[in-house]
Amino acid sequence: MSVTEARKVTLNDYRAETPTWCPGCGDFGVLRGLQRALVDLQIEPHRVLVVSGIGCSGKLSSYIGTYGFHGLHGRTLPVAQAAKLANPELTVIAVGGDGDGYGIGVGHLVHAIRRNVDVTYVVMNNDVYGLTVGQTAPTTPLGRVTRSSPFGSSDYPLSPLGMALGLGASFVAQGFSGHIDHLAVILRAAIQHRGFSLVNVFSPCVTFNEEYGYDYLRQRLVDVDADASYSRLDRMAALRKLAETGGLVEGILFEDPERVAYDELLPQYKREPLTRQVAPLKEEERQAILEAFSLTGR
Amino acid sequence: MKRRDLVWQVGGAQGEGIESAGALFLQIMHEQGYYVASHRHFMSLIKGGHTHYQVRVGSRPLLTPGDRVDILVAFDQLSIEHDADKLHEGSLVLANAAKKPHLPEGSPGRLLPVDFLALAKQAGGAIMANTVALGATGALLGWGEEALDEYFTSRFGRKGDEVVEQNRNAYRLGWEAVHKLGIPPLAMPEKPAPGRRVLLQGDEAMGWGSLEAGSRLFFAYPITPASEILQWLAKWLPKVGGAVVQAEDEIAAVNYAIGANLAGQRAWTATSGPGFSLMQEGIAIAAMTETPVVIVDAQRGGPATGLPTRPEQSDLNEILYGSHGDQPRIVISPATTADAFWAIQAAFNAAEKYQCPVIVAADLNLALDVRNVDLEELRRIPVERGQLDLEPGAFAPHTYPRFQLTDTGVSPRVLPGVPGKTTAAVGDEHTVEGHITEDAEPRVAQMTKRLKKMETAAADPELTREALWTSGPEDADLVLVGFAGTYGPIEEARQLLEAEGVPARHVHLRVLRPFPTRALAAELEGKKVLVVEQNATGQLAGELRRQLGSDGFHSCLKFDGNPFTTAEVLASVREVLAR
Ligand SMILES: Cc1ncc(C[n+]2csc(CCOP(=O)(O)OP(=O)(O)O)c2C)c(N)n1
Ligand code: SF4
C-alpha cells in the first residue's frame, strides 16, 4: 500500500466504536494499554490487524481503530498467524479472554508457541467467563463458587505462563490492566519481539468476579521489570519466579531472542505481501511442474 | 484382432510393493503412448490386508478403470477371490505358485502359477517379486525380453548398476517362466495418435490448479484422500514463493485459510468427512464476515471413520446444508481428474467475487485415481478477484462502509494495509460499517444482502454455463444424473446404451450452489430420471426433489466401499426401463 506522509500517530487515530463493557471492567485498561503501545511505536493503524475471539474481551477489535476481525470463540490464533504469513508487513495482534485462549482455543496456543509466527497474543484474563455471565474458566481457582460451580470449582486452574514457558515460548509476559503505563511498555516489547509473544493480562471482571479485583492484584503483584537482579533470559528463573509468587508477577518474565521466527524457517518463502502474487504461474514455473509429472510428447 | 483396451491388475497384501508395481505398469503404458486409467483399492492399515491396483490401457480416452480384468497378477489367493467376478473366459491369472493358488469353482479364465518369490531371490532378492511379475506380464503381452531395460535404468539408476541389473534379471526370469508356456500373447490395444498427455490424480490437479489460480498458501491436516494435495503442495509451493502449513487440526486449518484470505491472499484447505465436520463453524464465520475461503471435501465412506480408504458421496447434505444459520455458499463439483484443475480455479474466482465460502465437492475416486489426460483438457481460466477496494481513503476509523448495501449483495472488499479505511469484520450481526448490532433493521438488511449474493451468482454466466455437463440426445426419455467421481461409469454406461440403440442422456452436476434449478428442470421435465450416487440414502435425489419440487426419481445407490462399475449402472438402467 502507498506510503503515507509522515504524520505523528496519536491516540485519536486508534479510537473507534464506544466500548460497551461494564463500567470499571479491566478490558478498558487493556484497550488503553494496547493503543498506547501502538502510538508509542508510531505504527499507523491501517498497518495493524487485531484478531479477537468471543467474549467480552473479544469486542476489543471493534474499539480500536485498526483493521479488525472478530472471529470464532477460541480461534484467534490460526486467523492471526495466517494473516501475518499472507501479509508480513502487517502488525498482527490476537486478543481474547482466558476462556477463549486457555479453554476452547488452548490447542491453537500450544501450536502457535511451537510455530513462533510473529504474532502478539494478549489474553485478557479475568478468571471467569464474562460474556456468558459468570461460569468457571480454566483459570478459576479450585473451590471458587461460580454459576457453573455452585459448590465450588473442582478443577485445578491452569497456569498459562508455566505452560507457555514449558512449551518453549519465545516471549512470555504478564500485565495488569490497573497498571496501564507498565502494560503499555510490556506490550510494546511484545509487539517488537520477532516471534510469538504471549502477554497474559489480569483484567478484572467487576461484575462476575469481585474476589479477584483491582485491590487484590495491586496488593500482591510482584514486578520483575523493576527487579535488577532478575534476568528475563533465563527460562528456569522465570519458572521459579512463577512458583514463588503463585503466578502473581508482572512484567516481562522471559524472552528468547534466539528462537527463529517461523517465516525464516520456510524454504524460499517470499517475505512480502502475498497479495501482490495473486497471479497464475509464470511460464517457467508451469513448465517445471509439467516436467516433473510424467509427460508424453515432450 | 486388435483390442480397444486391456485391463491389468495386480493384487496382494499391503506392504508387499503392490502399489509400486501398479504405478510402474501404469507409467510404462502411459509413456508408451496409451491412454490409461487406474484405481487403487487399499485399506486403512499399513501391512497385510488386501490391496490391488487396476490399470486400464486403451486407444481412446478412458472413462473408467474397467469392469473386467484381462490379466490378473495375484500374489495371494485372496487377490484371486476378491476379484474373481472380474474374470472372463479369456482372462489370464498369473498367480503366486508358492501359495497353492486355484481359481474359485466355476470361475472362468486360466490360471498360470509362477513362483514370483523364488525367481526374485534368484535374481538377487525377494523385493524384486514385483519385477518378476512384470516380466511374466510382458511375456503375456508379447513384449520382448529386454523391453523394460531402459525403464530400470531410469528408475533405479540412482541406486546403482547392481540394482538395475538385478531388476533386469528379475524381469527376464519372470518373462522366461511364462514365455516357455507357449501361450499366444494377448494383443495390445492399438496405440492412439501421439499427444502431450500428463499422468496425474485429481488431488494433484487441484494442487496445480490452485497455483494457476494464484494461491500461495495452503493449510491442512492430513486425511485420506486429501493428503496428496498437502504433500504435492508441500513440494511445490516453496518453489513458487508460497508455503504450506500443516495445521494442528481442521478447525485451525479452515481458520488459517480464512485469516490468509482476510489479509488478501488466496488460501485454501482440503479435507474429508471427519475434518469437514470440524470446519462447519469456520464456514459460518467466513460467510458472516464475507471473507472468501475455498474448502475441498474429498468425500470418503462415512460416518465417523467409516470406510476411510473407500469412495463414497455421503457428505453431500453436509456440503450443501452444513453449518449453522442462513448462509450464502457456492458449491463446485469436478466431474473428472482434468476437471478438478478447473474446479479449484473456478472456486477461487467465485470465493473472491462473492466473498463467501466455496466448497469443492470431490470424492475419493476423483482425488486419488491416477490417469493420463490430454494437456488441452487442463483448462486455465483467468484470475478474477472480484471487487477489491485498495484505494487509500480518509475515513475515520471504522466508518468505512465495508458492508454497504448493493444491488448485487456484493460490497467492495478492502484489505488490511489500505490507509484511511480501517474496518472491523465481526461475526456478530453488524451495520454497514461493521459495527455490532442487534437491531432488527440492519439485521434484516445485512442478512438479505448476504443471501442476495446467491441470486447474483445464480445469474453469473461463469457459473451457469458450467453448471451441467450433458451428453446424449436431448430428447432421450431416460436421464442419468450424478455428481463428482461417478462421471466415468455413468458416461460409459450411457455410451454402451447408445451403441445398443437405447438413447439416454447424462446430466452431471458441476455447480450445486447456486443450484441450477432452471437448467436442470428443463433437462428432467417429463423424463425417466435415474440418479446415480455413492451413498445409502440418495442425498442427491433428495436434493433434486427439494429443489425441483418434483418426485418420481429412481435411485441407483452404492455404499459398499467400492466404486461403481459400469455394469452396475447398466443393470440399474435396465431395471428402470423394465418398469
Ligand atoms: C463454540 C462456542 N461455544 C460457546 C460459545 C459461548 N461463549 C461466548 S463467550 C464465552 C466465554 C467467554 O469467556 P472468556 O473467553 O473468558 O471471555 P470474557 O467474556 O471473560 O472476556 C462462551 C463460552 C461460543 N460463542 N462459541
Ligand atoms: S461482565 Fe465482566 S468482563 Fe464482561 S464487560 Fe462486564 S466486567 Fe467486563
Instruction: Record the cell numbers describing residue B216, joined without a space.
Output: 500461495
A206 alpha carbon – ligand 2 mean position (Å): 6
Question: Of the candidates A51, A3, A1, A46, which has an alpha carbon nearest to the alpha carbon of residue B400?
Answer: A46
Residue B186: what residue type? L
Q: A73 CB under 6 A from ligand 1?
A: yes
According to CATH, the topology of domain A3-272 is Rossmann fold (3.40.50)
pLDDT of the residue at A267: 81
Q: Up-side HSE of residue A118: CA atoms within 13 Å toward CB?
A: 21
Do B198-371 and B468-578 agree at the fold level?
yes
Residue B89: what residue type? E
Among candidates A82, A110, A295 on the partner chain, residue whose Cβ is nearest the Cβ of B257: A82
According to CATH, the topology of domain B5-179 is Pyruvate-ferredoxin Oxidoreductase; domain 3 (3.40.920)
- Whether residue B217 lies within 8 A of chain A, CB to CB, comes out as yes
Cα–Cα dist B477/B554, whole Å: 13
Q: List the CATH code of the domain at B468-578.
A: 3.40.50.920
Instruction: Record the cell numbers describing residue B347, joined without a space.
Output: 472456486
What residue's CA is closest to ligand 2, atom 6?
A22
Beta-ladder partners of A263: none
Interface list for B 233-272 with A (CB within 8 A): 236, 238-243, 245, 247-249, 251-253, 255-267
pLDDT (tens digit per residue) in A106-165: 999 999 999 999 999 999 999 999 999 889 999 999 999 999 999 999 999 999 999 999
Counting as low any pLDDT under 70, the low residues of chain B are 1-2
What residue's CA is closest to ligand 2, atom 2?
A205
B436 with A62: Cβ contact below 8 A: yes
Cα–Cα dist A26/B114, whole Å: 80
Cα–Cα dist B243/A204, whole Å: 40
DSSP B226: T
Does the interface predicted TM-score (ipTM) exceed 0.90? Answer: yes
* Residue partners of B522: CB distance under 8 A and separation at least 6: none
Instruction: Record the cell numbers describing residue B354, joined without a space.
Output: 462473492
Cα–Cα dist B349/B342, whole Å: 11
A119 chain-B contacts, CB cut-off 8 A: none
pLDDT of the residue at A274: 66
Q: A57 CB under 6 A from ligand 1?
A: yes
* Residue partners of A233: CB distance under 8 A and separation at least 6: A254, A255, A256, A257
Please, are residues B257 and B268 in contact by the beta-carbon 8 Å criterion? Answer: yes
Residue A5 has pLDDT above 60, yes or no: no
Interface test with B, best of A116, A275, A290 (most B CBs within 10 A): A275
DSSP-assigned letters across all residues of chain A: -PPPP-----GGGGB-SPP-SPTT-THHHHHHHHHHHHHHTT--GGGEEEEE-SSTGGGHHHHBSSEEEE--TT-HHHHHHHHHHH-TTSEEEEEEEHIIIIIITHHHHHHHHHHT-S-EEEEEE-SEETTTTSEE-TTPPTT--BTTBTT---SPPP-HHHHHHHTT-SEEEEEETT-HHHHHHHHHHHHHSSS-EEEEEE---TTT-GGGSHHHHHHH-EESTT-TT--TT-HHHHHHHHHHHTT-EEEEEEE-TTSPPHHHHSTT---S-GGGG-S---HHHHHHHHHHSEES--
Question: Of the candidates B242, B246, B292, B250, which has an alpha carbon nearest to the alpha carbon of residue B271?
Answer: B250
A297 with B263: Cβ contact below 8 A: no
pLDDT of the residue at B1: 54
Q: List the CATH code of the domain at B198-371.
A: 3.40.50.970
Q: What is the pTM of this model?
A: 0.97
Mean pLDDT of chain A: 94
pLDDT of the residue at A1: 42
B380 chain-A contacts, CB cut-off 8 A: 280
Q: Report the percent of chain A where pLDDT is more than 70.
A: 97
Cα–Cα dist B369/B199, whole Å: 10
Question: Of the candidates B319, B246, B259, B311, which has an alpha carbon nearest to the alpha carbon of residue B289?
Answer: B259
At B264, phi and psi to the nearest 5?
105, 0
Cα–Cα dist A105/A58, whole Å: 13
Q: State which residue of chain B sits closest to A262, comparing Cα positions.
A: B245
Instruction: Record the cell numbers describing residue B308, joined without a space.
Output: 476411510
Using a 10 angstrom Cβ sphere, with 0-12 exposed, 13-18 middle and 19 or more buried, the burial of residue A169 is buried
B271 alpha carbon – ligand 1 mean position (Å): 27
Atom of ligand 2 nearest to the CA of A209: 2
pLDDT of the residue at A276: 66
pLDDT of the residue at B46: 85
What residue's CA is closest to ligand 2, atom 1?
A130
- pLDDT level of residue A6 (50, 70, 90 thresholds): low
A297 with B255: Cβ contact below 8 A: no
List pocket residues of ligand 2, CB cut-off 6 Å: A 21-22, 25, 27, 56, 126, 130, 205-208
Residue boundaries of the structural domains of chain B = 5-179, 198-371, 387-466, 468-578
A273 with B264: Cβ contact below 8 A: yes
